[in-house]
Amino acid sequence: MKTSANHLAHALRANMRPDQPFICGPHPLTYGAFWQGAERLAAALEISPGDRVVMQVEKSVEALQLYVATVLAGGIIVPLNPAYTRTETLYFLEDATPSVFVTPTPEGWPVPRALTLEALLSEARSGFKPVPRGPEDLAAILYTSGTTGRSKGAMLSHRALASNAKTLQKAWHFTAEDRLIHALPVFHTHGLFVATNVVLMAGACMDFMPKFSVEAIINAMPRATALMGVPTFYTRLLKAEALSQAATNMRLFISGSAPLLASTHQEWHARTGHTILERYGMTETNMNTSNPYNGDRRAGTVGLPLAGVELRLDAAEAEIGVIEVRGDNLFSGYWNMPEKTAEELRPDGWFITGDLGQIDADGYVTIVGRGKDLIISGGFNIYPKEVEAVLDAMPQVQESAVIGLPDKDLGERVVAVIVLKSETNKDAIIESARQNIARFKCPQDVHFVDALPRNTMGKVQKNELRIRLGNMG
């Protein structure tokens, strides 16, 4: 490849045919129109190479164009969940110091330029030339919550994104004949990189849905070939009577972002004849492992390391240990946090995931738990520490412990256990939390106790709480 190219854009455009649809369904858009629109938007950004562009917008094709436009302009895209509160958003803006912030509410933010997506689109113009960027230049920063408080911005290079998209396209046999049902949000790795980049790279098309809907997906399946989702997608789809019929001509169902129960895997097979392909990744690493396209897709496992990804445990074979990974798929460190980077990314390139795994004799990896205190609810990650800080700041709360309890729909749900210092009730606690943190992080249930169980070191015993409250159903 020419060194003067824009590495990621060049890779994503390699197989596209301008007259073929990128977006299919009721509002189709060709590849030619998509890329041309992105170039016009790149001109409107008026940024310099390395500048950050924060986008906090509802899911839309224009949001995808903004991502691609930022890459073309040599910038760094920083997508944020629109569900974040103003306080949460302020933290990200102060940390990322973007040149441009695209938001539906542009007033009063401490950034040089805040505007709506509509306003930016109205400034789109032709004559833009893609800015050359090399493999190690950054293309994106995605924030991932920190176990010790502050969210960390994972810096993702052109190399990491392009190489992982290529690996996945090959591993999952995506071609221009594919039609992917895209019902994921586009502010996380799964919806933005795994789904969108793989489709772009293959020159395939996607049924781009504004959000998850059982009905819309069932209706789309007869014309589609593939679906990517979090386990909650699959448990909800299993409730639809029309599933078996609708899924007949699909080629591939992929699950990730949270553990897929073996029972869901088996029920899906019984109902549709298809075997869900489960894979495992992280914001910092993109995708690490996948069950095979051809071969045994084993329920309860996340499959084998992907091509170009090395994986090891910090334990002897057959034992449980923390998973470490190395490869071109890895991030380049945490934005503005060299000490955090040094704690998790070894000098020889191995990244410490914090996930506890086991590898069987055939090389299949099973995630058996997490070394980190993390709740995954419907595919969204919630760090208890962040929720506890919000609860502990309430005047009626003495102390709190936040845990995840099993949930049939979301996999885990957020539950708060609170010791009070003055009278209040569950609803007031939940309402107060909602003022500070995004709704998906707020406790769905609150239990009041006289004291939190602690070990001899004074550490709260969350396992004990999980057993106690889990048994209460």
Q: Which residues bind ligand AMP (CB under 6 A)?
A: 144, 256-259, 278, 280-283, 302, 353, 355, 367, 370, 376, 381
188 binds ligand MCA (CB under 6 A): yes
31 binds ligand MCA (CB under 6 A): no
Residue appearing with tokens 């249930």 = 445
- Of 333, 315, 336, nearest to 324 (Cα)? 315
Q: Which residue type occupies 158?
A: H
346 binds ligand MCA (CB under 6 A): no
Task: Figure out which of the listed residues 227, 230, 252, 356 binds ligand MCA, where binding follows CB under 6 A.
Answer: 230
| H-helix segments, 192-309 | 198-202, 214-220, 231-237, 243-246, 262-272
- Window 243-262: residues binding ligand MCA (CB under 6 A): 256-257
Residue number, 89 or 264, with CB nearest to ligand AMP = 264
Residue number, 282 or 390, with CB nearest to ligand AMP = 282
In what helix (H) or strand (E) does residue 120 lie, and over which residues does it extend? helix 117-122
Task: Figure out which of the listed residues 74, 135, 191, 357 binds ligand MCA, where binding follows CB under 6 A.
Answer: 191
Q: Which does 144 bind (CB under 5 to 8 A by kind): ligand MCA, ligand AMP, none?
A: ligand AMP
Q: Which does 367 bind (CB under 5 to 8 A by kind): ligand MCA, ligand AMP, none?
A: ligand AMP
How many Cα neighbours within 13 Å face the side chain of 63?
Answer: 25
Task: Figure out which of the listed residues 164, 196, 283, 341 binds ligand MCA, where binding follows CB under 6 A.
Answer: 283
Residue number, 372 or 426, with CB nearest to ligand AMP = 372
In a 10 Å sphere around its CB, with 0-12 CB exposed, 13-18 middle and 19+ buried, how is residue 459 labelled? exposed
Which residue is at the shortest CB distance from ligand AMP? 283
Residue-level length of the chain: 473
- Window 367-396: residues binding ligand MCA (CB under 6 A): 377-380
**Distance, CA of 402 to CA of 383 (rounded, Å):** 9
- Of 434, 400, 427, 417, nearest to 472 (Cα)? 417
Q: Which does 278 bind (CB under 5 to 8 A by kind): ligand AMP, ligand MCA, none?
A: ligand AMP
Which residue is at the shortest CB distance from ligand MCA? 378
197 binds ligand MCA (CB under 6 A): no
440 binds ligand MCA (CB under 6 A): yes
How many Cα neighbours within 13 Å face the side chain of 394?
Answer: 27
β-pair type (138-146, 114-115): unpaired
| Cβ neighbours for 277, distance < 8 A, ≥ 6 positions apart | 172, 252, 253, 254, 255, 290, 291, 292, 293, 297, 303
Q: Which does 220 bind (CB under 5 to 8 A by kind): ligand MCA, ligand AMP, none?
A: none
Q: Which does 439 bind (CB under 5 to 8 A by kind): ligand MCA, ligand AMP, none?
A: ligand MCA
Binding residues with ligand MCA: total (CB under 6 A): 22
Q: Which residue type occupies 276?
A: I
- Window 163-182: residues binding ligand MCA (CB under 6 A): none
Q: Which does 302 bind (CB under 5 to 8 A by kind): ligand AMP, ligand MCA, none?
A: ligand AMP
Beta bridge partners of 168: none
Beta bridge partners of 413: 405
Q: Which residue type occupies 197?
A: N
Token pair of 60 as six digits = 């839309």
Q: Which does 353 bind (CB under 5 to 8 A by kind): ligand AMP, ligand MCA, none?
A: ligand AMP
**Distance, CA of 16 to CA of 22 (rounded, Å):** 9
Residue number, 179 or 326, with CB nearest to ligand AMP = 326
**Distance, CA of 407 to CA of 411 (rounded, Å):** 5
Q: Which does 266 bind (CB under 5 to 8 A by kind): ligand MCA, ligand AMP, none?
A: none
Token pair of 108 as six digits = 């009063």
Per DSSP, the three-state class of 53 is: strand
**Given the rule CB under 6 A, which residues bind ligand MCA?**
184-185, 188-191, 211-212, 230, 232, 256-257, 281-283, 377-380, 410, 439-440
